[in-house]
Amino acid sequence: MAELQPLFETKQAKGRAAFRVFTATVFVGICLMLVYRFLHIPRGGEEGRWAWIGMLVAEVLFSFYWIITQSARWNVTQNFPFIQRLSQRYEDRLPGVDVFVCTADPIMEPPTLVVNTVLSVMSFNYPPGKLSVYLSDDGGSEFTFYALLEASHFSKSWIPFCKKFNVAPMSPEAYFSHQPDEKYVNQVEEEWLAMKKKYKEMRYQIESVMAKGSISEEIRRQHKGFLEWYNYEVTKQNHQSIVQIIIDGKDTYAVDNEGCRLPTLVYMAREKRPGWPHNFKAGAMNALIRVSSEISNGSIILNLDCDMYANNPDAVREALCFFMDEKRGPEIAFMQHPQRYNNITKNDIYGNCAHVVHQVELAGVGGYDAALFCGTACFHRRESLSGAKYSRDCRENVDSEAKKIDERTADELEKISKVLASCSYEKDTPWGKEMGLLYGCPVEDIVTGLAIQCRGWKSVYYDPDRRAFIGVAPITLDTHLVQFKRWSEGLFQIFFSKYCPFIYGHGKIKVGAQMGYCVYLLWAPVSLPTLYYIIVPPLCLLHGISLFPKASSPWFIPFVYVFIAKNVYSIIEALNCDSTLKGWWNLQRMLLIRRTTSFFFAFFDVILRQLGLSQTAFALTAKVVTEDVLERYEQEVMEFGTSSLMFTIISTLAMLNLFSVVAAIFKMIFQDFGALEKFVLQVILCGLTVVLNFPIYEALFIRKDKGSLPFSVMFKSIAIAALACLILVN
């Protein structure tokens, strides 16, 4: 009997040998730099001794982190599924798929945005009888419930429309923001306009109710679910379990306008009570795992944030190629897609797109069979999410799930599910410890993925040409930095916990995977050498203290080589990953800003938490912006607008380097031009920092719009920088 062709294949990225040779040369250059630092430490009492020692420590830390980052580039792989083979072999026995969509606040995450995501996943090219969609509403909002109810009515028209014309993206808002392709215009235009009108009517109804701030009695009579808010006092942090099956996929009357079956659609708001920990998104996901196990029990779970709509109708089928492959599939626990965004400007002013991270680093970690679980756009095997260990003695495939006839009514299932979603259900159980997503960390996704891999499972990373899921990126600097602070804080907590990959993963996952995790877990501490490099060299330059070799010295060569080689490689890497040169430059600015603000604050928050002086908090990022902010973003103008402490730090560092460069150039021109040979690297370092910070100076002194930096920030940054310039470095 001929061996079955695989349902997916894995290929090594091109140029691996050349990259390894290049990396070796950079490593030699770094070693020579550290040798120079160690051999030329000023003697006791000499000027700049401690500044020099600080530079040595900073460069050792940079070098260690650079080695860590190379692990994510050492074994980059790409995966390719074959959905035609899947259909040929398994079309009549495809597994059930449960889709989890999570939202937490109807103001920061508007219901229209949420239901667009829900409608997009309901429209997958997949048997609707095997597809169930669950919305977890941690805000417990009747407005979100109402929006979902309206979406269920609209889905009866939208789903057949998507199937008929192979619509992509399947989010109505995203789809109708563009005219139909010209080759379909004659065929589609009339139906396109009619469907767009229906969507606008649905959106208007939802937004009108939101604007009014109350739901009329006429609307409440449309569904028994509104009694949950009518009979009880429901607040965001204090409410009973609410589970409503809005579309019962088993009901013969649950059909669309073409008479085809509709996917199951469920609304859930888990119980919240004062004094009971709700464990943020991890708690919501675990409640969804339990509730869905009673209602549909799909063996594959897809989890999405509420702003990540589906863009590829065949995304589920592509995912199943990994899980149902006869040879490698049984050991795969989850398959992670990259987070892509629909609102990225040409040059990506805030570096949101992270082209290199998605196409190189995450693919590199995936090359060790340990792709990171990033919290959204991830397909899971239910068995692995429920705490099971992988066993070679029990290699059951996804399609072998037991089929049972469930005669329970929707009302009975809702009643049972409410118990599973209660806040006391998890007490004295393994949930959050051994089962489901793990608790105690703001980035529960990363630590959960690591724990699953340490139980013997493998994971894959898949970055398709046709983006499977698309979300919304932050378009203000403040929101962006808050988001990165939350991520870096949670990631650094993992490094300090028992889940540190070098300890918890020892002997369980590959060393390359352990290092790959730490590329992100060590975001926060890398802020310290960065801050040192941005503060001390300009101060030393201002006071005539040299920290680098002269241009005529042989030791000058490794410093220049490492600097040029790393940056040239970084540019080539970015351009190969579909970025632009200006986009690469913008990313360098954002890396500097993140490290000196978000990562720095995260570092100290984690240290304080380790000392028991603070507790973990969760900051939700808003998905709503004003028109003037959006206009500036589209023009690629950085948005400040507030007197945030982070903005004061950014401005102060920019002013410090500006003062130092101007003063140094003045001295060299009018006093001692020959000193340039001695200070050339410091001048270049500070000069590049100044050029990199041009948008900061523009926001401080030139711009007059609402997105510029306030006068108070300008005053404080100039005063602090001027005061720092008076400090003598010994």
The average confidence (pLDDT) of the chain is 91
Q: What pLDDT does 611 receive? A: 83
* Catalytic annotation present for 705: no
Q: What pLDDT does 187 receive? A: 63
* Catalytic annotation present for 605: no
**Choosing from 98, 137, 369, 445, which is the catalytic residue?**
445
Question: Whole-model pTM?
Answer: 0.93
Q: Across residues 450-457, what is the average pLDDT?
A: 96
Is the CB of residue 102 less than 8 Å from the CB of residue 303? Answer: yes
**Choosing from 138, 307, 348, 369, which is the catalytic residue?**
138
Token couple for 462: 């898949």
Q: What pLDDT does 231 receive? A: 77
Specify the length of the chain in residues.
Answer: 730
Reply yes or no on whether the pLDDT at 582 is more than 90: yes
Q: What pLDDT does 185 receive? A: 62
First-last CA distance in the chain: 79
Return d(Cα 105, Cα 118) in angstroms, integer. 16
Positive/negative CA dihedral, 626, 620, 385, 274: negative
Reply yes or no on whether the pLDDT at 616 is more than 70: no
Taking CA 614 as the corner, what is the angle to CA 613 and CA 619, rounded to the nearest 5 degrees? 165
Token couple for 691: 């050029």
Which of 45-49, 65-69, 255-259 holds the top average pLDDT? Answer: 65-69
Reply yes or no on whether the pLDDT at 581 is more than 60: yes
Q: Across residues 429-437, what is the average pLDDT?
A: 94
Tens-place pLDDT, residues 133-172: 999 999 999 999 999 999 999 999 999 999 998 999 999 9
Reply yes or no on whether the pLDDT at 116 is more than 50: yes
Tens-place pLDDT, residues 667-684: 888 777 667 788 999 999
Cis (ω within 30 of 0) for the bond into 169? yes
Q: What pLDDT does 623 receive? A: 55
> Strands 131-137 and 97-103: what pairing?
parallel
Grouping H, G, I as helix, E, B as strand and the rest as coil, residue 246 is strand
Rounded alpha-carbon distances, angstroms, from residue 355 to 351, 416, 580: 9, 45, 10
Point out which residues pair with 136 in neighbouring strands. Answer: 102, 268
Reply yes or no on whether the pLDDT at 624 is more than 80: no
Q: What pLDDT does 181 receive? A: 62
Q: Across residues 37-49, what is the average pLDDT?
A: 86
Reply yes or no on whether the pLDDT at 65 is more than 70: yes
Q: What pLDDT does 402 receive? A: 43
Q: Across residues 65-90, what is the average pLDDT?
A: 95
